[in-house]
Amino acid sequence: MQRILKKVIPRVIKQKLKETRFFEHKAVADLAVTSKRIDICSAQMAHILHLSKHAPLEGKVCLEIGAGWVLTHALVCYLLGAKKVIATDVVPIAQPDTLFLALRDAIVSIPRDVLAPFSDHARIRERYDNLLSYSEFSFDTLKELGIEYLSPIDLASEKIDIPVDFIYSNSVLEHVPVDDVPSLLNNLADNLNDGGTMIHCIHLEDHQDIGGDPFNFLSIHAGRFTPTLQSNRGNRIRCAQWAKLFDDLKGSNTDFIYRYSRLEKPLPEMIDSSISYIDEEDLRVSHIGVYTRKEK
Ligand SMILES: C[S@@+](CC[C@H](N)C(=O)[O-])C[C@H]1O[C@@H](n2cnc3c(N)ncnc32)[C@H](O)[C@@H]1O
């Protein structure tokens, strides 16, 4: 029946329907039971904490950039014992009610087990049970957990008003227009306490064609690759240029905790002259994890 309806409804009407609040909420709910499920986000966080040999976040102030629609990573910081979590975004898109779904479909033992090396198993269980005791989530209930949602805020043009110990982002920095990236990174570094750290997971492929031709966008002339396209498809900053941008931050040290490449996909014959890169290997990097430590 659904398939027949899909065929019968004209495309413009389908588009209009998609734009309605109902469909938007459904898409966010789908995220909450898939990539934003709390066991999956706990595994992601544990992975980068292991790779960076990170100290526990217990009692720390955490800042998330581009927190998105489902604030699960903020809940993971709560499970890890963070004193305060500030989840930010350039547009206010978070739907806290969907966190109920992110918990409902998760395997309860996974967050406890994978996060235990960075906290205490019994304390994580207590905190997880506390999350399960909520029948619904709102921005007010998040505040009770020490999670504050701050949006809209563009951290390329302003800083937050308290220093933080840990900054995290997942699939965000590649959406920031090229010209805004240096000021964003500088503001974030300034917001860090001495000895503070940040981890950014950055995805370097064309977000509009990840499965097909993920590097072809590197050929588009800069004049046509507007800030809006940079936000939607990825800003095209390559791996070595990211290394340079982070190395330019004064008083801090940066390493990659992972760097993955796609060797099976073609590169375009022409790379636009605005794109800074070293060699083919640099162009082919598809995902990086960047770990920055501010000196004490
Ligand atoms: C692919 S989503 C990732 C959301 C979330 N981090 C996650 O893991 O599900 C990209 C996020 O980056 C945010 N974003 C886009 N441009 C940004 C900017 N200039 N500064 C901060 N966040 C931005 C979007 O609003 C969105 O929340």
CATH code of 212's domain: 3.40.50.150
**CA–CA dist 148, 139 (Å, integer):** 7
Per-residue pLDDT at 11: 65
Looking at the 3D structure of the chain, how many domains does it have?
A: 1
Indicate whether residue 175 lines ligand 1 (CB < 6 A): yes
Q: What residues contact residue 50 under an 8 Å CB cut-off, 6+ apart?
A: 117
The predicted-structure confidence for 223-276, as pLDDT tens digits, reads as follows 999 999 999 999 999 999 999 999 999 999 999 999 999 999 999 999 999 999
Q: How close is the Cα of 34 to the center of ligand 1, in Å? A: 18
User: Is the pLDDT confidence value at 3 over 60?
Assistant: no
How buried is 144 (Cβ within 10 angstroms: 0-12 exposed, 13-18 middle, 19+ buried)?
exposed
Q: How close is the Cα of 175 to the center of ligand 1, in Å? A: 7
Cis omega (within 30 of 0) for bond into 152: yes
Per-residue pLDDT at 1: 47
Q: Which amino acid is it at 19? A: E
The predicted-structure confidence for 164-218, as pLDDT tens digits, reads as follows 999 999 999 999 999 999 999 999 999 999 999 999 999 999 999 999 999 999 9
Indicate whether residue 151 lines ligand 1 (CB < 6 A): no
Q: What is the mean pLDDT of the chain?
A: 94
- Full residue range of the structural domain in which residue 163 is found: 2-294
Q: How close is the Cα of 103 to the center of ligand 1, in Å? A: 22
pTM of the full predicted structure?
Answer: 0.93
**Of all atoms in ligand 1, which is nearest to the CA of residue 172?**
12
Indicate whether residue 188 lines ligand 1 (CB < 6 A): no
